[in-house]
């Protein structure tokens, strides 16, 4: 049991060393992809949401083709 406990620090260092490249890659992409929206992007999102609500109210969504729905 004491041998197992003695190995824990070296095992932990190995885990940290092996996960560091993956964590660095994650942080690289997270800095770009997980940026909060800018005020201009918030305005575009509100406008798009209003269009969705308007098409739901008027029934315009029923007249779209499959290709138009996927766009």
Q: What is the pLDDT of residue 63?
A: 81
pTM score over 0.95: no
Nearest to 17 by CA among 28, 9, 7: 9
Q: What is the pLDDT of residue 10?
A: 84
**Can you tell me which residue has the tokens 């766009």?**
71
Asked if pLDDT for residue 17 goes beyond 70, the answer is yes
Q: What is the pLDDT of residue 56?
A: 86
Q: What is the Cα–Cα distance from 61 to 45, expressed in whole angstroms?
A: 19
């Amino acid at each position: 049991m004491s041998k197992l406990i003695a190995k824990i620090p070296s095992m932990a260092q190995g885990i940290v060393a092996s996960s560091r490249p993956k964590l660095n890659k994650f942080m690289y992409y997270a800095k770009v992809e997980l940026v909060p929206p800018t005020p201009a992007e918030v305005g575009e999102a509100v406008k798009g949401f209003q269009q969705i609500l308007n098409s739901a109210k008027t029934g315009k969504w029923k007249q779209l083709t499959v290709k138009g729905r996927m766009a």
